[in-house]
Amino acid sequence: MKKIIFFLSVFFIAFQTQSQEKTQSQEIKKNKNAKISIKVDGICGMCKKRIETAALKTKGVKFALWSPKTHQLNLILDERKTEVANVQQNILKVGHDVYDMNAKKISATDEAYNSVHPCCKYRDEKIVLDHEGELKKVKKNK
C-alpha cells in the first residue's frame, strides 16, 4: 500500500511540473510573423529607401514599408530572431531618429545624421518645408 501511495505521489508531482513548464513556455512563445509599427523621422524617397533597407538588413525582418507622409514604419519580423530594438538601432545608424513604443524620441548621433544626403536633413525646417512645397509657394507669392 505504501508503494502505491508513493508511486501515485511521484506521478502527480511529475504531472504538475510538466503542466507548469508548458504554461511558462506558452507565455514566452515568440511570434514568427509579428506585425509592428514604429515612427521614424524622414522626409523623402531617399529617406524611405534608406530606412527600409536598414530595417530589412536586420536579421529576422521579413517586410518593411515606411511612409513619408505618416512617418510610420510597418514591419513583419520574426521575434525568435530579433527584437524591435535591433531594428531601431540599425535605423539610428543610418541617421534617422526613431520613437520607442512610448512615443519617446531616440535621436540618431550627429555623425550618423550628418551622413544623410543634404536634401534628407529632416531636422532642418527649411528643407522640410521645401519638400512639402511650402517654400516654393512662398517664393512664388513674393
What would the pLDDT profile of 47-105 be if each residue is shown by its tens digit?
A: 999 999 999 999 999 999 999 999 999 999 999 999 999 999 999 999 999 998 888 99
Residue 138 predicted with pLDDT over 60: no
Q: Look at the chain and report how many structural domains it folds into.
A: 2
CA neighbor of 115 nearest in space, from 93, 130, 97: 93
* Residues of the domain holding 3: 1-29
pTM, 2 dp: 0.72
Residue 135 reports pLDDT greater than 90: no
Q: Are residues 113 and 61 in the same domain?
A: yes
* CATH number for 134: 3.30.70.100
Same domain flag for 38 and 17: no
32-46 mean pLDDT: 93
> Of 44-48, 94-98, 134-138, which gets the smallest average pLDDT?
134-138
Q: Which of 139, 134, 54, 36 is nearest to 94 (CA)?
A: 54
pLDDT at 140 (0 to 100) = 44
Average pLDDT of the chain to the nearest whole number = 83
